[in-house]
């Protein structure tokens, strides 16, 4: 399974900003390459940090965006933070 990362938006961004690691995370939700999540199953880690704002973020996921008839939400029985798509 492919793994991607998004961190709170900041002026300097994160490394390459391609979402492939924590160090190169996408710079906020506006920078997420949603097409990269389509196709094969992928996990998107929504990361925080001490420099980020406190509080909660509401994320609305539209499953219809993903291509393919076999795409479905899978329950996360481990109660972790990634979003499996």
State how far the Cα of 42 lies from the Cα of 4, in Å rounded to an integer. 7
Ordered by start, the domain boundaries in the chain are 1-85
Tokens of 6: 């998004």
pLDDT of residue 25: 96
pLDDT tier at 64, thresholds 50, 70, 90: very low
pTM of the predicted model, to two decimals?
0.63
Asked whether the beta carbons of 14 and 51 are under 8 A apart, the reply is: no
């Amino acid at each position: 399974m492919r793994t991607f990362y998004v961190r709170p938006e900041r002026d300097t961004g994160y490394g390459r900003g391609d979402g492939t690691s924590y160090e190169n995370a996408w710079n906020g939700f506006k920078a997420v390459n949603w097409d990269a999540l389509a196709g094969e199953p992928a996990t998107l880690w929504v990361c925080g940090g001490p420099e980020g704002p406190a509080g909660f973020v509401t994320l609305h996921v539209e499953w219809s965006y993903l291509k393919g008839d076999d795409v479905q939400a899978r329950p996360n029985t481990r109660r972790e933070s990634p979003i499996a798509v």
